Amino acid sequence: IAGTTHEPMLPPLPQRRRGSTAAGYLLVIIFVASLSIHVARSGSELLGHQLPTIIRGRSYLNHPRRSIGQGEGFNGNWRISTVIQENSRADILSKRASVFPWFSQASVTIKPAERNQLQPLSSKSVLDDLASLCTDAIFQPSSQRLANDIEKYLYKKIIERYGPSNSNENCLFLAQSESAAVANGLSPSTSPSSVVGCVGLEVVPVTLDGKPEGEDVQPRPLLEFLAVDPSARGRGIGKSLLKQCEAKAREWGYDEIILQVAADNDVAINLYKKAGYSIIAEDNTILRPKEGGLFGGMGFEPALHLCLRKELSSGPFLFPKFF
């Protein structure tokens, strides 16, 4: 047709998604900045420069019972101190964890406590740390004096429950932080301060709701002393400790676990419910520590507790008990 031109039809250019491109650039910038900080710190160490670092340390005076220094926080057992660390792998790891937090979050191991860790005079003893951890996580004492009394009480109870003198089937699991240990130049198995969580399991003759007397008394796995350090919460350590206890109960040949928890401990109750535990009874006869009055000491008072139970699935590795 006269007066017309035939030009090839080209496909339209694709439209760029500005939002996604900007988000991608932002992620790249953040990653490069983090990597630059990490390389700069590592480079400073290689050149011999010492970087001051704030770390959490423990005081181990007058072992096996620590003396509590003045001006220290967290029941007198934790202290914040600024130190100049040596050029070491521990220093590098602690600084790397401050730049990349996910490195420290994956360095918690859970395993049964070793025999020497539950002996008072052993250099590897964790009894002081366990007593302090359980005191704050479970009882939350209102004063330093009450905290000290509860620690001494739990110190003895942990030995009775899970020490070598107990003939009942029992196991105490420890959650130990590798990053906390290497920050002190030690391995987790030789560093008591690396304990960030614990839980105990003991087979005792009790009723279904955890009472020592009743019509249905029989050996049952009783879970106690579940505690996680506040600095390590939100990482699934409590849930992992529960799973270890459940696996151990199956190994012993049981199909249930029972426990008792204070009715006002909402955090622990929510954790148990999410893990599949159900409330089966209430008990207002269980005693809880309290202030002993003007003359010191520690007293006890009745407090409402809930009894929870979980029925364990049989699984392929459940061995029934025939005795």
Question: What DSSP string runs through 67-114?
Answer: PPPTT-BTTTTEEEEEEE--SSHHHHHHHHHHH-THHHHT-EEEEEPP
**Per-residue pLDDT, 244:** 97
Which residue pairs, CB below 8 angstroms and at least 24 apart, start in 75-79? 75/132, 75/135, 75/136, 75/141, 75/144, 75/147, 75/148, 75/151, 76/144, 77/128, 77/129, 77/132
Q: What is the pLDDT of residue 187?
A: 54
pLDDT score for 83: 29
- Position 178 scores a pLDDT of 77
State the pLDDT at residue 20. Answer: 62
**End-to-end alpha carbon distance in the chain:** 103
pLDDT at 228: 96
Chunk the chain into consecutive blocks of 10 residues (it has 323) and report each block's average pLDDT, rounded to whole numbers.
Answer: 51 56 81 71 43 32 33 32 33 42 64 94 94 94 93 96 94 86 50 83 94 93 96 93 97 97 95 97 93 80 96 63 46
